[in-house]
Structure 1
Amino acid sequence: MNRPDRARPLARTLATRFVLIAAIVFALNAVGVGLYYGTDRRALAAEAVNNQAERMEDALDGAMLPADAPVRGLYAAHPNAYAFALVDRSGEVLDAMNAALIPPAALGLFADEWITQIDRPRGTLTVAGHEFQERRDGLRMVFVMDEDPAHLVRWAYLDELYQHVLLPIVPLVLLLTGAGWLLIRRSLRPLVDASAWARDLRPGAGVAPPEAKWPAEIADLVEATQRTLDRLGEALAAETRRAADAAHALRTPVAVLTARVDALPPGETADRLRGDVAHLSRMVRQVLAATRADGMQLDDATTLDLREPAEAAAAALAPFAYEKGADLSLEMPEAPVPARADAEAVELALTNLIENAVLHGGEGTVIVMVGPGPEIAVRDEGPGLPPYAGERLYETFWRAPCAVPGGSGLGLSIVDRLQRAQGGKVAAEDAEGGGALFRLSYRNA
């Protein structure tokens, strides 16, 4: 049975779930950190003040702030919301913007770091002081923020998320995800090997499991599969032997019956008996072919020139075609047509196709074509494939309602089994211009 298209590898499923868990952990951590910092408005305001103080210190040229310093843009753009003053150790204001917003008492506070917030009906007023610790002249900055139209607090909040979530956690999540993926693939490798071994198993064709140190669970599964396969192989071998013995036992009485019918004087009854005996003989041959297909094992090193079995099958069935009023022709190239196939199995499959073509094609021409490539095709000039047949063509004992007498429903089933046993394929289609076309394809040699 083919694996469904929707089936996903277990490694991918586990890795996807692992990534999902990592994403959930990351999201929960981000939400937790976000709630922690988002609820502490005073800490966020202090962080916003520190950010502005760092920008101011970076822009200072000695004790002076250049007139064209980019840091002045915030205060120029929002004169009613932000203000600053640079104050020396003596309390002299060296520079300021929007000084009207600064409470006079704030200029006289000499502390390293301080911040105060005043809640008002129209918003929060934040006043803070910061001494530049990297300087020795005691220069400090007084900062005022009335409401926050430039969203300094929000940017400080996002910066906290970046510093405490993205920077430390994202690389860790990526590292854990990669390590988890490799660990999952490595852990599932024995299962992959066991699956590859199981896919190559066929009853009657023993394939030893690969030598590996399996985990206990997979070792139990492999051993159970091997025991089941051994039992199936034994049952199949016994059934194949019984079928072969029965077919071989029938060959002698059928041959005797054929000889006795041939000795009868000509007449309608004798002709009918000859047809029935010929049908019985063909069924016996097909049963033998079926047992050959079920037990066949093909060595991958086997190479066959497809012209040889095609020529043998055409020569053997030429009298049969002549008797049925059909012309049998063989077309093949002068150069060899190599394929990985078994000569007897190819001849058996081709024999069944030619017999079907002769029986169903009427008194027309049956053409056997070898190549191009590792392929043999058989075409007849009959009515074509039965409508709505599809895959039922290869069902054992299935015969189309319009099938001509003389068939048993075994031929195409045997062909399909022989092809699959060799790693080949059989395909059927309506031929262009009428008739049916069957193709036997094989692996390249």
Structure 2
Amino acid sequence: MSAEPDLASGGAPATRALGRLRRRAPAAALPAPAWSLHAQLRRRLLSLLVVLWLLAAGATGAGLWARTDEVLDSALKETAERLLMLPEAALATPDTAARQGMLRPHDEFIVYQVQDAQAGLVLRSSSAPPTALDPGAPDGVRPAGDWLVLTLTAQDGRRRAQVAETLAHRHAGMRAGVGWLLGTLLALLPVAWLAMDWLLRRGFDSLEPARRELAQRPLHDLRPLSVQQVPVELQPWLATVNSLLARVAGLIDSERAFAANTAHELRTPLAAARAQAQRLVQASTDDGTRTQAQSLLRQLDRLTGLATRLLQLARVESGVALQREPVDLVQLAVLVVDEFAEATRSGQLQLQVRGPSVPVSGDIDALGIALRNLIDNALKHGGSASQVVVTVAGQQLAVQDDGPGVAPALLPTLVRPFDRGPGHALQGSGLGLAMVDTIARQSGAQLQLQSPVADGRGFAAVLDFGSDTQPG
């Protein structure tokens, strides 16, 4: 009896459990919005400035208010004392309308009254009311209606002076002082904003040398960044970056060493197995056995080619093409074409040079892998009767064949690992053009594929080092 659950009949509990798991699963977190440290510091510093200014304005206003009250009350008292010191002759003639009319029109913010012992007015200012400002008030300052009145009585009790200031005038003066403080803040806020923005930008400009050094470096350059002439606050960050660069360099070196060691270890057993298969073919007297041995030999050849491509791909992906040195494309093409001696002798492979040689920046080993794969791809997939031409023209290295080619719609897929074209391409590993594309990007070049080339036939692959492509 089968122990497997019946999904058709008994799957309801599993479905409910799956539903509970889905409900419990947290929703995918949305990416955090980008924010600016410069803008945040500017806002916070300006907010701190405003708060400190308001606190300072409040404290200053309170002190100014108390001090102004003291000074103005002292002025009122001084005026009252002077009135009490007037001789009797000055008070003998009462203030009539005619005498008041002798004064020029003016704003009077402080008024006064002088009363005799019977509380009768003997002298008053032009704006003072005709009745007592604060009848029966004791000596001192106190508000009375719309006035702030200071009352002072002579020592002999025969004369009494009251000097007053409107509350509105005194409060207006106080508010004007505080308003100037706050108004100055409002006027300086835009200036403070611009000044802080300029100062912060100058501060963040100190990060620019390290950023520029890192941005302008080739990708293969993993040397530590310089910590000279950088702020103390930035040095821990740079030390962390340098530690990361050192770890990345170590990983790349380990991967390159692994690829090299693996290539060495795989070539020996594959070569030994191929030699045994060749002996088996030669020693076989039976046709069926010989056929099987030949099939085994072909599979070993294919396995050897695939292993070589995989190891090349591992080496390329580890960043070997990121190394930089001047490379002569003509010399490179001559060296690689010479490796295909049989195709060269038969005339199937030709080399053409157009114009003077222009050195490019790259790694000669990596570019050799790329050109070798392009030629091998053209010879293999162009057909035994095809003509393959390697052309060097300035900063371009092209490999073209007159074989059947591929459909234009398939060209973008050919640079994907293990993607093969139709027809003869089924015999390949699907790694050649993928490696060439990776090497081109790492070398700052661009791989351009074209098919058909002429008369509905042909395939061309061009490595263009004069393009604007940056190393990837």
Q: Which residue of 92, 105, 108 corresponds with 1:108?
A: 105
Task: Report the 3-state secondary structure (helix = DSSP H, G, I; strand = E; otherwise coil) of the residue aligned with 2:460.
Answer: strand
Task: Report the 3-state secondary structure (helix = DSSP H, G, I; strand = E; otherwise coil) of the residue aligned with 1:348.
Answer: helix
What's the counterpart of residue 350 of structure 1? 371
> What's the CA shift for 1:438?
1.4
**Aligned pair in 2 of structure 1 residues 181, 441: CA closer, same or farther (>3 Å)?**
same
What whole-Å deviation, never above 9, does each CA across 1:101-124 have from its counterpart, x for those lacking one? xxxx9x83454899x9xxxxxxxx
Say yes or no: does 1:387 pair with 2:409: yes
* Distance across 2 between alignment mates of 1:161 and 1:297: 67
Within a 5 Å distance, the mapping from 1:171-210 to structure 2 comes to: 171-186=191-206, 188-189=207-208, 192=211, 196=215, 207-210=222-225
**Aligned pair in 2 of structure 1 residues 240, 395: CA closer, same or farther (>3 Å)?**
farther
Task: Report the 3-state secondary structure (helix = DSSP H, G, I; strand = E; otherwise coil) of the residue aligned with 1:332.
Answer: strand
Equivalent position amino acid for 2:330 in 1: R
> What's the CA shift for 1:412?
1.9
* Distance across 1 between alignment mates of 2:410 and 2:101: 101
* Distance across 2 between alignment mates of 1:14 and 1:419: 38
Overall identity of the aligned pairs, in %: 23
What whole-Å deviation, never above 9, does each CA across 1:194-245 have from its counterpart, x for those lacking one? 8549x8566xxx7331231653344245325523542453355234412332
Higher relative CO (Cα under 8 Å, sequence separation at least 6) belongs to: 1
Within a 5 Å distance, the mapping from 1:34-433 to structure 2 comes to: 108-109=105-106, 111=108, 164=184, 167-186=187-206, 188-189=207-208, 192=211, 196=215, 207-212=222-227, 215-227=235-247, 229-231=249-251, 233-254=253-274, 257=277, 269=291, 275-276=298-299, 278-287=301-310, 289-290=312-313, 293=316, 294=318, 296=320, 300=324, 302-317=325-340, 319-320=342-343, 327-333=348-354, 335-362=356-383, 363-371=385-393, 373-381=394-402, 382-384=404-406, 387=409, 390=412, 392-400=413-421, 404-433=425-454
**Aligned pair in 2 of structure 1 residues 296, 311: CA closer, same or farther (>3 Å)?**
same
Task: Report the 3-state secondary structure (helix = DSSP H, G, I; strand = E; otherwise coil) of the residue aligned with 1:219.
Answer: helix
**Aligned pair in 2 of structure 1 residues 407, 338: CA closer, same or farther (>3 Å)?**
same
**Aligned pair in 2 of structure 1 residues 218, 251: CA closer, same or farther (>3 Å)?**
same
Say yes or no: does 1:15 pair with 2:38: yes
**Aligned pair in 2 of structure 1 residues 262, 340: CA closer, same or farther (>3 Å)?**
farther
CA contact (8 A) 1:416 1:425 kept: yes
> What's the CA shift for 1:177?
1.1
CA contact (8 A) 2:321 2:363 kept: no
* Distance across 2 between alignment mates of 1:288 and 1:194: 33
**Aligned pair in 2 of structure 1 residues 229, 314: CA closer, same or farther (>3 Å)?**
closer
> What's the CA shift for 1:428?
2.4
* Distance across 2 between alignment mates of 1:340 and 1:396: 26
Report which stretch shifted further, 252-261 or 417-426.
Answer: 252-261
**Aligned pair in 2 of structure 1 residues 418, 251: CA closer, same or farther (>3 Å)?**
farther
**Aligned pair in 2 of structure 1 residues 215, 418: CA closer, same or farther (>3 Å)?**
same
* Distance across 1 between alignment mates of 2:453 and 2:375: 19
Equivalent position amino acid for 2:358 in 1: V
* Distance across 1 between alignment mates of 2:398 and 2:266: 32
What's the counterpart of residue 131 of structure 1? none
> What's the CA shift for 1:15?
2.5
Larger radius of gyration: 2
**TM-score, normalized by length of structure 2?**
0.51
Task: Report the 3-state secondary structure (helix = DSSP H, G, I; strand = E; otherwise coil) of the residue aligned with 2:349.
Answer: strand
**Aligned pair in 2 of structure 1 residues 248, 291: CA closer, same or farther (>3 Å)?**
farther
CA contact (8 A) 2:321 2:367 kept: no
> What's the CA shift for 1:290?
3.9
**Aligned pair in 2 of structure 1 residues 108, 424: CA closer, same or farther (>3 Å)?**
closer
CA contact (8 A) 1:254 1:280 kept: no
> What's the CA shift for 1:179?
0.2
* Distance across 1 between alignment mates of 2:406 and 2:358: 28
* Distance across 1 between alignment mates of 2:331 and 2:244: 43
Equivalent position amino acid for 2:464 in 1: S
> What's the CA shift for 1:276?
4.4
> What's the CA shift for 1:24?
7.5
Equivalent position amino acid for 2:334 in 1: E
Superposition RMSD on alpha carbons, in Å?
Answer: 5.0
CA contact (8 A) 2:417 2:434 kept: yes
**TM-score, normalized by length of structure 1?**
0.54
CA contact (8 A) 1:428 1:438 kept: yes
> What's the CA shift for 1:272?
5.7
> What's the CA shift for 1:189?
4.5
Task: Report the 3-state secondary structure (helix = DSSP H, G, I; strand = E; otherwise coil) of the residue aligned with 1:303.
Answer: strand
Report which stretch shifted further, 350-359 or 416-425.
Answer: 416-425
**Aligned pair in 2 of structure 1 residues 388, 335: CA closer, same or farther (>3 Å)?**
closer
Which segments of 5 or more consecutive residues in structure 1 lack a partner in the other structure? Answer: 1-5, 32-89, 93-104, 117-158
**Aligned pair in 2 of structure 1 residues 389, 192: CA closer, same or farther (>3 Å)?**
same
> What's the CA shift for 1:377?
1.2
**Aligned pair in 2 of structure 1 residues 374, 182: CA closer, same or farther (>3 Å)?**
same
